[in-house]
Each structure stands twice: as structure tokens, then as C-alpha cells.
Amino acid sequence: MSNAFVYVTYIRTTPDKLWRALTDNTFMRLYWLGCEGQSDWQPGSPWRLVNREGQVMDTGEVLEAAPPFRLVLKWRNEFRPELNAEGYSRCAFEIEPLVDTGIVKLSITHTMEQEGGAKFIQAVSGGWPLILSNLKSLLETGEVLAASKAQFDTRAVG
């Protein structure tokens, strides 16, 4: 089993809008299954993901922030002991506009800092396709195909 994944999606939007979508906690709740990322998004600042009940799901640190093109987070699960034990991962968001198309490429590369960590990677990778579909749909049409609480519980992110 691998301890990394790369997900890519193409969204009809601008880098600025996509950056805001990734860093605005109110907007984030609309596509991130009710969760929001809390941080001031400055390199070195703490970062945490909180679910709609206020429970802290994941924590970490902003490693790099170059708006609107690159955001790198240090990331560790906080609510499942077996995932927490696997230590920190590194999640890089890369935003790349395709010239003259009005389309932006979003790549998410999530890797473990140490060997192992396959359980964590499996857990987070399960949630991303849904979150990315929501994000794409929200930016392109203004609507999101709402995820149910049950889906959220079974595919919990991190």
C-alpha cells in the first residue's frame, strides 16, 4: 500500500477564486463536508480542521503559502489514535492556470513525512474525490451536491 497520493482536477475558475475557496473557512464548509480549516494562512502559523460539531479533526502548520498558487500544510489526524500514531503528513495544493482557457488545474499531493502511514493516506484519500467534486461544482455552478452526514462519517477526511 502506498503512503502518498496525487489528485488532480480542472476547474473553470480563476486562481484567486480557487485560493479563496481553499482558505476561506465559511466557503470551505460548503464543499468540505461541513468542515472548516482555521488558520491565518501565513507560513509558520498553526492550522486545524474542525467539523461542524466543533470537533478538531486534524491539526498542523502552514509550511508554505504563496497566494494564489501554492499552499503546503503539515497535517496530522487528531481523532483516530491509530492514524495519529502515524505522525505528520504533508499536503501540497498547487494551483496552475492554463493559459487562455479560463481553466485552472488544481493538484493535491499528500505524502507521509516518514515511512509507513498507509492507514492515514487511505483514510484521507477516500474523502478527497467527493470534496473535489463538490469544490468544482460549487465554483463552476454555485451549487454543491450536498454530502449526507452518513457519507461524512464513513468517508471522514483524516
Measure the CA–CA gap between 82 and 69, rounded to whole angstroms: 33
Measure the CA–CA gap between 134 and 150, rounded to whole angstroms: 16
Q: 3-state class of 6 per DSSP? A: strand
- The residue within the footprint of another protein, chosen from 56, 66, 85, 145 (CB under 8 A), is 145
- Tell the smallest beta-carbon distance from residue 88 to another protein (Å): 17
Report the relative pairing of strands 89-98 and 70-77 from DSSP bridges. Answer: antiparallel
* 136 sits near another protein (criterion: CB under 8 A): yes
* Contact between 127 and 148 (Cβ < 8 Å): no
* 107 sits near another protein (criterion: CB under 8 A): yes
DSSP 24: -
- The residue within the footprint of another protein, chosen from 14, 25, 38, 109 (CB under 8 A), is 109
* 130 sits near another protein (criterion: CB under 8 A): yes
* 114 sits near another protein (criterion: CB under 8 A): no
Measure the CA–CA gap between 42 and 73, rounded to whole angstroms: 11
* CB closer to another protein, 59 vs 89: 89
- The residue within the footprint of another protein, chosen from 40, 85, 129, 141 (CB under 8 A), is 129
- Tell the smallest beta-carbon distance from residue 150 to another protein (Å): 8
* 147 sits near another protein (criterion: CB under 8 A): yes
* 142 sits near another protein (criterion: CB under 8 A): no
Centre a 10 Å sphere on the Cβ of residue 1 and count the other Cβ atoms it contains.
8
Q: 3-state class of 128 per DSSP? A: helix
Which residues in this chain contact another protein in the complex, by CB under 8 A? 1-2, 4-10, 103, 107, 109, 111, 128-130, 132-133, 136, 145-148, 150-151
